[in-house]
Structure 1
Amino acid sequence: MDANDDLDARWNAVANRLQEESIEVPNSPELTGTIIDSNPRVGIWLMPNNTSPGELENFVSEMIPDDDPVWPLSEDYIDGIPEKARKFTEKKILRAKIHAWLATREDPRQMGVAIRAQDLRVDGPLSTTFANWLRELFE
């Protein structure tokens, strides 16, 4: 789930809901994703990285290859739209940039499909940590 603007508030909201179900929750999220061995087993990953405010798009932006020549152009395109002409809020600017970048792919697609098409790299530190957390959660 997205941490959005306040990681602590999001964590507390999740913890309170789980505690209502008598599930013990740590005081803060684990850096590598939280797994609670309860019944049912619970996994919590606060996007983008369990330590920073943000959302899925912050996570995905880490997956865009560093040497991708289109990413800076996508950023420039969105940055070049006058604020008065934008239909999206400042909080959603990264989402707009990612979707502009996705629109340039061979077959413009959603983020999840872009992973399968190998447009997004999955071997970076954050992606690897997330994948390891998922594997451990579902063992």
Structure 2
Amino acid sequence: MSRRQPNGKVLLVEGPDDRHVLWALLAARSPRIAQGSFEIAVCDGVDSALENFRVRLLANGDTHLGVILDADDDLPARWAALRDRVETIYPGVMPAQPDPSGTVLALPEGGPRLGVWLMPDNALPGMLEDFVSFLVPEADACWPQAKAYVDAARKSGAGVSARHAQKARVHAWLAVQEQPGRPMGQAITARYLDADAAVVEALLAWLERLFVAP
């Protein structure tokens, strides 16, 4: 993973799917946030992202540092893991709970502007695919069928866990689009997914507060 962006603005994400979804959303909503405003640095999963977050905070070489992590099954636990890492370096700055609109903090003692977004929306448990499911057009006729297919398969003994059921539903839905099986980022570019959804607006507003606002 790249260690530093020339302008000192870095967003850590868990994996390449996160980066491709973000790139596609930024392109779809261009020129709202200028290309090159910040680097999206891919980590190798949540543990790697947490460690890179800690190391970069300690090194204090970034002017703006953000991280997007899946809340997974336990949003409070994920928040606590981030909070603990910040509090060991900057005691007393992290709130007890994440901001529902995305957390942005100005750290003391010359520290970076800090941002945290927990997928899908800083309030619910889940992951990137839960966020993407909010981008499925509201009146889409295939989405209920994709959900029913996965739910029926799980009842019949399919191995997908409850935790990953929404992930399976999203990919089942992508499998029946005009060009079947496109990755999520490409599905945004192809306009199968709605880049104007409310959750996208919230995410972009958070990115603006973190990386663009003076």
Same fold per superposition (TM over 0.5): yes
Q: Are 1:28 and 2:97 counterparts?
A: yes
Secondary structure at 1:26's aligned position in 2? coil
Percent of paired sites with the same residue: 39
Q: CA deviation at 1:98?
A: 0.4
Report the CA distance between 1:84 and its aligned residue: 5.2
Q: Which residue number in structure 1 is paired with residue 198 of structure 2?
A: 125
Structure 1: stretches of 5+ with no match in the other structure: none
Match of 2:175?
103
In structure 2, the partner of 1:3 is 71
Does residue 1:134 correspond to 2:207, yes or no?
Answer: yes
In the alignment, which of 80, 85, 89 is matched to residue 17 of structure 1?
85
In the alignment, the residues of structure 2 paired with residue 30 and residue 130 of structure 1 have an alpha-carbon distance, to the nearest angstrom, of 12
Counterpart of 1:91 in 2: which secondary structure? coil
Deviations 1:55-85 (A, max 9, x none): 2222111110011111111112212215454
Aligned pairs (5 A) from 1:52-71: 52-71=124-143
Contact 2:72-2:163 within 8 A present in 1 as well = no
Q: How much has 1:21 moved relative to structure 2?
A: 2.7
Where 1:45 maps in the other structure, the secondary structure is: strand
- Between Structure 1 and Structure 2, how many residues are aligned? 139
Q: In structure 1, what is the equivalent of residue 123 of structure 2?
A: 51
Quote the offset at 1:88 in angstroms: 1.6
Distance 1:82 1:6, change over 3 A: closer
Q: Which runs of 4 or more aligned residues in structure 1 lie more than 4 Å from their structure 2 counterparts after TM superposition?
A: none
SS state at 2:77 partner: helix
TM-score, length of structure 2 as denominator length: 0.60
Which has the larger share of helix? Answer: 1
Q: 2:187 aligns with which of 104, 109, 114?
A: 114
Higher strand share: 2
Q: Structure 2: where are the runs of 5+ without partners?
A: 1-68
Partner amino acid for 1:10?
R
**Rounded Cα–Cα distance in structure 1 between residues aligned with 2:185 and 2:105:** 26
TM-score, structure 1 length as denominator?
0.90
CA distance in 1 between counterparts of 2:203 and 2:70 reads: 14
State the distance in 2 between where 1:76 and 1:84 align.
12
